[in-house]
């Protein structure tokens, strides 16, 4: 009888603990970054205004070419590896 009472008591305590829990709220970033997307007018090459190539990162099907211009702005150009085509959209990250 004592074991049944203990089991019920433990079950009730666990249930009460479960009911008292609340979800953890994700913290939002303090400020939103102002990023720009520009469109490549001519996809036959990368404009010299994008500056110097500083890095290349890859995924299975894409390569991201990272450039820094004279004003230290960062330009990310995406290259599709299966068909060797540049993506129209270029991400521009301004530097302060």
| pLDDT bucket at 68, cuts 50 / 70 / 90 | very high
- Residue-range definition of the domain harbouring residue 42: 2-93
| pLDDT bucket at 30, cuts 50 / 70 / 90 | low
Give the residue with greater pLDDT, 85 vs 23. 85
The string of DSSP codes covering the chain is -HHHHHHHHHHHHHHHHHHH--PPPPPPPSS----EEEE-S-TTS--GGG-EEEEEEE-SSEEEEEEE-TT--EEEEEEETTTTEEEEEEEEE---
Number of domains composing the chain = 1
| pLDDT bucket at 17, cuts 50 / 70 / 90 | confident
């Amino acid at each position: 009888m004592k074991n049944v009472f203990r089991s019920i008591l433990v079950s009730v305590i666990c249930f009460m603990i479960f009911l008292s829990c609340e979800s953890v709220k994700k913290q939002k970033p303090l400020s939103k970054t102002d990023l720009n997307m520009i469109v490549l007018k001519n996809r036959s090459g990368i404009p010299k205004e994008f500056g110097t190539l500083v890095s290349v990162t890859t995924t299975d099907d894409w390569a991201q070419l990272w450039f820094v211009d004279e004003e230290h702005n960062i330009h990310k150009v995406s290259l599709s590896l299966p068909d060797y085509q540049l993506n129209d959209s270029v991400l521009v990250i301004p530097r302060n």
